[in-house]
Structure 1
């Protein structure tokens, strides 16, 4: 008998469980899911990371950095689409790994995703707080430093705006996927309107001289910029965690994953090109809000508040979808016995995993409220890249192990496309700082201890194999 840590979850069992009393309500359609994907991808990347990458890494060649990151995501998205249409169950990469590679790999990727989503949600909540403070300041209102900063930062006691938005999102997700999707659709449409308005206005203020030198840091800077702005593309994977709640997942999920990635890529490249045409790339070193900065620099004062509203909507949608993804991964791991069963119990009316949602909300609130978040973009990136590598490898493995399984959407040119995805992701990992690699290893070691002393003993597969 194989060692228990390599036991795999039978695919038919996963489908059966997700369709029974422990399954989630199927309420999401193609439009809502597509907007969830766009909501998850377009946010902090376009309003924050674009300026950082231009100033420190890519210069005007950031458009090439976006193309490189987008291609890496495209190959991976094709792999995700095959799995999500074939295994429409909550958990995304965690679930795919359980079916193809075994329990230990599922645990590693699930533990990895927990870190990814926790850090994203906490970081985005802090960013949301910063934009709210700026909006108040634009109206001449200064919020008390003690209530907008964590302890140790400019006399702070608690980052209260970050806590407030997390509590709101927690309540929304408790109500259900449909309610979350409807709210997300409204704020995404507002965000897209603001981005298009910026591009249209900005085209009239482009100075071609700002594009020279086009590649000030060489190809090395372009590749490092691609590794940093990869953070901007994270999100299309989050919508696959909602597969169990999609009405026709076999068709809807591939459309939503690939469609949201394509639309977001076009908008990112357009905004990056306009930004660097409006303002010299070196001037973005002094700001964490490049879109608002560019508008102020060329003297379009009336657009400030509009950009701030768009940024708030963008950040809120990223916060919502990634929080949603975190709770679904947590729910799937709990349903499999790797976490306590209480976190997979469903609310009797809303049919959502309420205990898990509240726990995640509480943890993220404490992180955002009391801990200064620095050097976190890279930590999120390495976790996501690791997940992408495992999913891509799993596509190759399952094609060989179970070629007879019905695949409503097939990733083209297997194993070439998954192999290219793996190579892209490995290369981007090498571009990240060494300290990021070390932090990631420490997190995985902690996870292996948790699995050894709890997960492997309580796993639902243990009872099946011993009965």
Structure 2
């Protein structure tokens, strides 16, 4: 058969791939796997428990400490059901992540999975979305950490931090100092090495699970049946709306997959760690929500500002337990910053190794730590957290996450069809129906977002396209003839 070329293809210089070929070129699964075990990159230190702590550390954070107070007025006591609904929706993508992570243990997570199945251009878009998701998420959690520091200071001394150091210049302050500090502290923990930072994270996760268990143990003593009636005051529509809000309490589980190249036995441990962290976090969320709405009538949450620490004060009649809880929340949010910052550096590591961003991001030291990557990323995010009001940009991280989740589900479908021979340590049950449901669920939540969020997301994508066509496409490791000059 004669190969018919389009005019654009025919015009391409000899030896240089045509634009269409460049956009759709894929990185073979075997090459991705080989790069993770060549002994020149990241070092394998982590077992099942360390990987699980990464998933729990990244997921169990702002969702339960902040978003619960916003979801209860929407769903009423049925917020417990909303957590289940959100968890089931996230589970579709978690199952897809588990299958892909077991097959392709690469630190690029959804970016690497897309590169192997859909092509370089969509992989770049996915990676660019993950940059937004992880980077702005770290900054947003850093801002929340500063607020908990201020609350803890007020509970213990009656004083508060000056507004000038709790808000950036565009919000009427000078610099959000606590937000920058927690990011830089996490940077130093990561520079100490994977073993050391994983130990720090494990301690923080243990603390946050302990304080949430403490909350449940205290609040459950004040649970009253009457607080659950009516169970669904806003009907199923309220439960669905709250579920959409609470979905973002679950998005941290994908951080497990970014640790693929530092896992001792990724094919066995990654799927188990992803599913274990999802199940444990969902159980904790539901228990905390049940105790909270059982101890305080749901109308008490109507202002959206009622905190778990406040409920402890109401139940016990003393601020002592609220102080303990606020102190634990400070550590809890710090663990989110640490793990999500770690995940950001590993996504950039994978993209740099593929040539799409500068090589400095994939250079590692003797410990296997990408030091330049960690410092550059941390300083940039610290400045973002300290100076810039997040607003719609922070909301846009949700679209970026959902887009990446959808692509992972698509990757499962593509590899099931094109590479059924590949060994799979874990298989998504109910495929192809389950991955299709995962794509539809992500699309539904994406299109339920406001135009302002879409505008911020669109602006981010325009910048990403400029970077890809101006730099990444020509520097790609899959480019047959490297571009000269820049």
Query: Quick check: TM above 0.5?
Result: yes
1:431 matched residue in structure 2: 448
Provide the residue aligned with 2:411 in structure 1: 394
Q: 1:409 to 1:213 in 2, by over 3 A?
A: same
Are positions 1:39 and 2:57 aligned together? yes
Contact 1:227 1:429 in 2 (8 A): no
- Mapped partners of 1:270, 1:403: distance in 2: 40
Map 1:68-147 → 2, pairs under 5 A: 68-140=85-157, 141-147=159-165
Name which of 261, 266, 271 aligns with 1:249.
Answer: 266
Asked if the contact 2:107/2:260 (under 8 Å) is kept, the reply is yes
Which of residues 383, 392, 404 in structure 1 aligns to 2:421? 404
Report the Cα offset of residue 207 of structure 1: 2.6
Report Cα offsets for 1:378-424 as digits up to 9, x if no partner.
32222111111110011000111111111122222221111111122
Helix, strand or coil at the partner of 1:241: helix
Deviation of 1:322 after TM superposition, in Å, equals: 0.8
Distance 1:432 1:106 in 2: 23
1:417 aligns with 2:430: no
Q: How far apart in 1 are the matches of 2:234 and 2:327?
A: 34
Query: Contact (CA 8 Å) 2:260, 2:266: kept in 1 or not?
Result: yes
Residue among 70, 79, 88 paired with 1:62: 79
Q: Which residue of 1 aligns with 2:36?
A: 18
Report the equivalent of 1:455. Answer: 472
Correspondence for 2:206: 189
1:341 is aligned, of 353, 359, 362, to 359
Measure, in 1, the Cα distance between the counterparts of 2:67 and 2:378.
Answer: 25
- The structural deviation recorded for 1:325 is 0.7
Mean Cα displacement is larger for which, 367-376 or 386-395?
Answer: 367-376
> Which of 306, 327, 335 is residue 324 of structure 2 equivalent to?
306
Shift of 1:372: 2.2
* 1:3 match: secondary structure: helix
Q: Distance in 2 between matches of 1:463 and 1:101?
A: 19
Q: Which has the larger radius of gyration?
A: 2
Match of 2:295 in 1: 278
Q: What's the counterpart of residue 231 of structure 2?
A: 214
Is the Cα–Cα contact under 8 Å of residues 474 and 482 in structure 2 kept in the other structure? no
Match of 2:23 in 1: 5
2-side partners of 1:339 and 1:376: how far apart?
22
Deviates more, 1:371-380 or 1:239-248: 371-380
- Pick which of 160-169 and 16-25 moved more: 16-25
1:180 matches 2:224: no
Q: Classify 1:465/1:451 alpha carbon distance in 2 versus 1 (closer, same or farther; 3 Å).
A: closer
- 2:68 corresponds to: 50
Count, aligned residues: 463
Q: Would the alpha carbon gap of residues 132 and 287 (structure 1) be closer, same or farther in structure 2, given more than 3 Å must change? A: farther
Q: 1:144: Cα distance to partner?
A: 2.8
Structure 2 partner of 1:28: 46
Out of 339, 345, 350, the residue aligned to residue 367 of structure 2 is: 350
Deviation at 1:213, TM superposition (A): 3.0
Does 235-244 or 1-10 show the bigger shift?
1-10
User: Quick check: 89-98 or 156-165, which moved more?
Assistant: 156-165
Distance in 2 between residues matched to 1:376 and 1:448, nearest whole Å: 18
Structure 1 runs (4+) deviating above 4 angstroms are none
What is the RMSD computed on CA atoms of the aligned residues? Answer: 1.8
- Evaluate the alpha carbon distance shift between residue 250 and residue 188 of structure 1 in structure 2; reply closer, same or farther with a 3 A threshold: same
- CA separation in 2, counterparts of 1:21 and 1:271? 44
Unaligned 5+ runs, structure 2: 1-16
Q: SS state of the match for residue 52, structure 1?
A: helix
Q: What does the per-residue CA deviation read over 1:334-369, in whole Å, with 9 as the maximum and x for residues that have no partner?
A: 11000011111112x322111111111111111110
CA distance in 2, matches of 1:112, 1:346: 24
Deviation at 1:256?
0.6
For residues 66 and 432 of structure 1, the distance between their equivalents in structure 2, rounded to whole angstroms, comes to 19
Of 444, 461, 479, the match for 1:444: 461
| Mean CA deviation greater in 429-438 or 330-339 | 429-438
Structure 1 residues 415, 464: closer, same or farther in 2, change over 3 A?
Answer: farther
Residue 222 of structure 1: how far off its partner (Å): 1.5
Q: Following the alignment from structure 1 to structure 2, what is the Cα–Cα distance between the partners of residues 440 and 138?
A: 38
Counterpart of 2:389 (choices 367, 372, 382) is 372
In structure 2, distance between residues paired with 1:376 and 1:71:
26
| The 10-residue stretch of structure 1 (434-443 or 328-337) with the greater mean CA deviation from structure 2 | 434-443
Q: Partners in 2 of 1:180 and 1:363 — Cα distance?
A: 20
1:136-177 per-residue CA deviation (whole Å, 9 max, x = no partner) reads 112223333322221244x52111111111111011112222
Report how far residue 193 of structure 1 moved.
1.1
